Chain A
Amino acid sequence: MSQTVILAPELEGYESSNFNFEATVKEQGLSLEPVSIETLQVNITKLCNQACLHCHVDAGPKRTEQMDLATVERCLEILHEHDSIKNLDITGGAPELSPYFDYMVIEARKMGKHVMVRHNLTVTWDGNPRTGEQKMYLPDFFAEHGLEVISSLPYYQEYFTDKQRGKGVFEKSIDSLRLLNEKGYGKEDTGLLLNLVYNPVGAFLPGDQAGLEADFKRELWDKYEIVFNNLFTITNMPIHRFKTQLKQLGGYEDYMTRLAGAFNPGAAEGIMCRSLISVGWDGRIFDCDFNQMLDMQIYNGKLNTVFNFDYNELVQRNIRFAAHCFGCTAGAGSSCGGATA
């Protein structure tokens, strides 16, 4: 099944003539070609216990798309075959809701790969919204296998966090962070990395990453005695659910104008698609998770999937850009690892 879901590349509708990313890159004299594949980012499921306002995946409790075992196995084979792919970044949805999440983590760690999980914090308490399966074991599992935990927390206060992620999310997130701290996450000398992700609660750009990190550290410690390692600031991508919200607010054009006006060549040089590829639940390969959600599959004479994976061909591909890419190059830049400039 995984090999059969191949769609023709379709760009029409993604690129607004007002916001032409490729033209901007050319005007700036930049050449944004791939440099390597260091990270295999795998979107293992669109199922999530939350349905956040800004979610570019449109993930939620009603989504059913999940990676099957054959595709998981093929991803693991790719990791095994390529020493240069050092990182496995597992995302979703809530990736822990995939029946193959634990297996994928264990096998990738056996190979010595650095494994990151995009953990929404609340899934520990909520469990699987479709089956009712409990997930309270997750903090122990993460610690046992030495995963890097990367968790969204839009703000260090309840109001902004619950506005974006749903009522009660802040309180559950704080409880989960406490559990992770108890296991050693975020603490010096444990080697257990706990990184938080800030993204703006609305149509504005993220603030200075270092300044916000200092605020988060001070406030979370003073009020809750919670510690973490780093804060990543991420710009909201003007696609899917967030784009719909922008259009409803009448602010899409203004937001795009702000992103395009804040184009930073330095940030562009560091965009994540130059050193990462993104795998969809059905095995198709994309330049990043955003292109994946727009069905902008990598096309270099053939449609790429994990089943015809060719490292050398992929590092020579042309990355597919569109208007949303201004989200990664505005201001200090934005990537799954935070600011890029």
Chain B
Amino acid sequence: MHYYESDDLKRFGEVGRFSGELMNKFFDYYNTATGQEGALTKREKALIALAVAHLKQCPYCIDAFTTSCLETGCNPDQMTEAIHVASAMEAGITLVHGVQMHNAMKRQGAL
């Protein structure tokens, strides 16, 4: 028994056992936003979702969007670059807060 079981992804819909209307609205929104052609292609959406899945470290989403990327014709270079974007963003988000640190240091006369 693990906290994350890959087969549990298939049971996602069971969350709608309660407050089912909200869950239906979520799935409509989710499927439209991630799974349909729009101003972005399905491939572009799959790569964004793959990057977010890694950033949020969701194993279900990594499984699902790895498949989506492959099924929309992505190659390993494109998929890896997508998670580098997520990784670089995360590093940048951490580092840019260094400005806040500098501001705090200034307020205390330390900078």
Residues of A within 8 A of B (CB): 155, 157, 159-160, 200, 202, 204-208, 211-212, 215
Number of interface residues of B (CB under 8 A): 11
Compute how far the CA of A157 lies from the CA of B72 in the bound complex, rounded to whole angstroms. Answer: 15
Contact partner of A202 among B41, B43, B70, B77, CB < 8 A?
B70
Q: Are A204 and B73 in contact, CB atoms less than 8 angstroms apart?
A: no
Q: Are A206 and B71 in contact, CB atoms less than 8 angstroms apart?
A: yes
CB-nearest residue of chain B to A219: B75
B38 at the interface (CB under 8 A from A): no
**Closest CB in chain A relative to B19 CB, distance in Å:** 26
Q: Are B76 and A204 in contact, CB atoms less than 8 angstroms apart?
A: no
CB-nearest residue of chain A to B41: A211
Q: Are A211 and B73 in contact, CB atoms less than 8 angstroms apart?
A: yes
**Closest CB in chain A relative to B50 CB, distance in Å:** 14
CB-nearest residue of chain A to B75: A157
Q: Are B72 and A155 in contact, CB atoms less than 8 angstroms apart?
A: no
Q: Which of A155, A204, A205, A206 has the most chain B CB within a 10 Å cutoff?
A: A204
Q: Are A207 and B75 in contact, CB atoms less than 8 angstroms apart?
A: no
Q: CB-CB contacts of B47-80 with A at 8 A, as 1s and 0s?
A: 0000000000000000000010011110111000
CB-nearest residue of chain B to A206: B71
Compute how far the CA of A159 lies from the CA of B72 in the bound complex, rounded to whole angstroms. Answer: 17
Q: Hey, which chain A residues are within 8 Å of B75, CB to CB?
A: 155, 157, 159-160
Compute how far the CA of A160 lies from the CA of B72 in the bound complex, rounded to whole angstroms. Answer: 15
Q: Hey, which chain B residues are within 8 Å of A208, CB to CB?
A: 42, 72-73
**Closest CB in chain B relative to A87 CB, distance in Å:** 29
**Closest CB in chain B relative to A198 CB, distance in Å:** 8
Q: Hey, which chain A residues are within 8 Å of B43, CB to CB?
A: 207, 211
CB-nearest residue of chain B to A205: B71
Compute how far the CA of A200 lies from the CA of B42 in the bound complex, rounded to whole angstroms. Answer: 17
CB-nearest residue of chain B to A160: B75
Q: Are B70 and A215 in contact, CB atoms less than 8 angstroms apart?
A: no
23 examples of A-B residue contacts, CB within 8 angstroms:
A157-B75, A157-B77, A159-B75, A159-B76, A160-B75, A200-B70, A202-B70, A204-B67, A204-B70, A204-B71, A205-B71, A206-B71, A207-B43, A207-B72, A207-B73, A208-B42, A208-B72, A211-B41, A211-B43, A211-B72, A211-B73, A212-B73, A215-B73
State the 5 A-B residue pairs at the shortest beta-carbon distance, nearest first.
A207-B73, A204-B70, A212-B73, A207-B72, A204-B71
Compute how far the CA of A205 lies from the CA of B76 in the bound complex, rounded to whole angstroms. Answer: 16
Q: Hey, which chain A residues are within 8 Å of B73, CB to CB?
A: 207-208, 211-212, 215
**Closest CB in chain B relative to A165 CB, distance in Å:** 16
Compute how far the CA of A202 lies from the CA of B75 in the bound complex, rounded to whole angstroms. Answer: 12
Q: CB-CB contacts of B67-103 with A at 8 A, as 1s and 0s?
A: 1001111011100000000000000000000000000
Q: Which of B41, B70, B72 has the most chain A CB within a 10 Å cutoff?
A: B70
Given contacts A202-B70, A204-B70, A211-B41, 15 further A-B contacts (CB under 8 A): A155-B75, A157-B75, A157-B77, A159-B76, A160-B75, A160-B76, A200-B71, A204-B71, A207-B71, A207-B73, A208-B42, A208-B73, A211-B72, A211-B73, A215-B73
CB-nearest residue of chain A to B74: A207
CB-nearest residue of chain B to A257: B10
Q: Hey, which chain B residues are within 8 Å of A159, CB to CB?
A: 75-76
Q: Hey, which chain A residues are within 8 Å of B42, CB to CB?
A: 208
Q: Hey, which chain A residues are within 8 Å of B71, CB to CB?
A: 200, 204-207
Compute how far the CA of A200 lies from the CA of B75 in the bound complex, rounded to whole angstroms. Answer: 11
**Closest CB in chain A relative to B33 CB, distance in Å:** 19
**Closest CB in chain A relative to B52 CB, distance in Å:** 20
Q: Which of B41, B43, B67, B73 has the most chain A CB within a 10 Å cutoff?
A: B73
Q: Hey, which chain B residues are within 8 Å of A200, CB to CB?
A: 70-71
Compute how far the CA of A157 lies from the CA of B79 in the bound complex, rounded to whole angstroms. Answer: 14
Q: Hey, which chain B residues are within 8 Å of A206, CB to CB?
A: 71
Q: Hey, which chain B residues are within 8 Å of A204, CB to CB?
A: 67, 70-71
Q: Hey, which chain B residues are within 8 Å of A207, CB to CB?
A: 43, 71-73
Q: Hey, which chain A residues are within 8 Å of B72, CB to CB?
A: 207-208, 211
Compute how far the CA of A159 lies from the CA of B43 in the bound complex, rounded to whole angstroms. Answer: 20
CB-nearest residue of chain A to B67: A204
